Amino acid sequence: MKVAVIGAGSWGTAVAWLLGEKAYDVNVWAREPEIAEGINAEGRNPMFLPDVQLGPGVRSTSEIGEAVEGATAVVVVTPSHGVRGVAEAMSEHLPTSVPVINLAKGVEQNTLMRMTQILEEVLGNKARLAALSGPNHAEEVSKGVPSATVVAAYENEVARMFQDLFIAPTFRVYTNPDVVGVELCGASKNVVAVAAGMVDGLGYGDNTKATLMTRGLAEMSRLGTHLGANPMTYMGLAGMGDLIVTCTSRHSRNRGLGEWIAGGGTVESYSAETHMVAEGAKSAVSLDDLAAKLDIEMPITRQVRAILYEGHVPGEAATILMGRAAVDEFHGMGLIED
């Protein structure tokens, strides 16, 4: 089994470690040549998770054609805004029969497309595409901390193949046919996590954070249900599971961004300080645009965007959210008669 891992950030490094532990031949594409050189020379990524020792079957290259050559499966682990670019770079080298799974969590700005929609548009053959999402912080997966995830695919055979590819003694993998729900969960929970970080940064209490997370899940479900997702997906690992860990963990970039913003920082200064991409910053824009296009209420997403890019103040957003008109708890989710 030869697996190409496209992306050498923290999550890409953790995936390479996981697959390497299963004795697969893994070829990691790294945008930065110095990362590829470090992995090949020392078996470590010098920039991301440098303490993680990669197995002898893990190699790296900064040439994407070389990375996918002869691959029996491709794992895309770039930030969401990079998925289209790497797909275009792979397209001339990758046969249309090779299964591809996306691990990026986001919705593309302007086109408002999910990641597998982008891959289908660029690479073709929707049937071979899948998505993986769940409460999977790279820092813990790469240390063998017990974790679980969900693989969603358009074809059951592809889902089962990727389930077998990833499942390990410390990494349990479930399948779910709801590609739309799993992908939208991954994108929208990051925006709620930015808001949760603001709650922490403002010094609000446990009641506030629990309320924020629960109402965040409600608006996540509202969007997904409107677009054909299974509401039960939002109760599972890709929904509630990932939401919990992203809103509460010290490893969460999105929660960290929110706390940074509440302390007076900016998106740009957070990125410069951490050298990390907080996907929620971009998803706040694309999901707010998508909600407006579909005429769906996503008030938390709207406020996060306003704070990040329109000069609104976090404390004022709390007042706006608390002052909204009273409605039924499951309003707009298709579970009751509105």
CATH, residue 146:
3.40.50.720
Percent of the chain at pLDDT exceeding 90: 90
Residues 171 and 279 in one domain: no
SS3 73: strand
Question: Which of 179, 193, 318, 328 lies closest to 257 in space, CA to CA?
Answer: 193
How large is the average pLDDT for residues 303-311? 96
Residue 105 phi/psi, 5° resolution?
-120, 105
Domain boundary among 177, 193, 208: 177
Domain boundary among 136, 155, 177: 177
Lowest-pLDDT range of 4-13, 39-48, 265-274, 320-329:
320-329
Q: How many domains does the chain have?
A: 2
The pairing of strands 129-133 and 147-153 is antiparallel
Residues 167 and 264 in one domain: no
Q: Is 105 a catalytic residue?
A: no
How large is the average pLDDT for residues 312-332? 80
Residue 334: predicted pLDDT: 59
Measured distance CA(35)–CA(48) in Å, rounded: 9
Residues 24 and 78 in one domain: yes
- Element holding 215 (H helix, E strand): helix 206-226
Residues 84 and 68 in one domain: yes
Q: Which of 22, 105, 189, 282 is catalytic?
A: 189
Residues 114 and 232 in one domain: no
Measured distance CA(125)–CA(259) in Å, rounded: 41
Residues 110 and 188 in one domain: no
Residues 46 and 158 in one domain: yes
Q: In which domain, by residue range, is 74 found? A: 2-177
- Element holding 128 (H helix, E strand): none
Q: Is 278 part of any domain? A: yes
Residues 172 and 268 in one domain: no
Residues 49 and 93 in one domain: yes
Residue 269: predicted pLDDT: 94
Q: Strands of 147-153's sheet, edge to edge? A: 58-61, 25-29, 2-6, 73-76, 100-102, 129-133, 147-153, 171-176
Residue 311 phi/psi, 5° resolution?
80, 10
Domain boundary among 177, 194, 217: 177
Measured distance CA(62)–CA(150) in Å, rounded: 29
The DSSP secondary-structure symbol of 22 reads T
Q: Is 329 part of any domain? A: no
pLDDT digits (tens, 9 = 90+) for 124-172: 999 999 999 999 999 999 999 999 999 999 999 999 999 999 999 999 9
Angle between helices 179-201 and 314-322 (to 10 degrees): 120
Residue 199: predicted pLDDT: 96
Residues 134 and 241 in one domain: no
Q: Is 331 part of any domain? A: no
pTM (2 d.p.): 0.93
SS3 236: coil
Residues 38 and 111 in one domain: yes
- pLDDT interval class at 248 (50, 70, 90): very high
Residue 335 scores a pLDDT above 70: no
Residues 247 and 132 in one domain: no
- Give me the chain's average pLDDT, please: 94
In sequence order, the β-bridge partners of residue 153 are 130
Q: Is 154 part of any domain? A: yes
SS3 134: coil
pLDDT digits (tens, 9 = 90+) for 184-243: 999 999 999 999 999 999 999 999 999 999 999 999 999 999 999 999 999 999 999 999
Residue 43: predicted pLDDT: 97
Q: Is 337 part of any domain? A: no
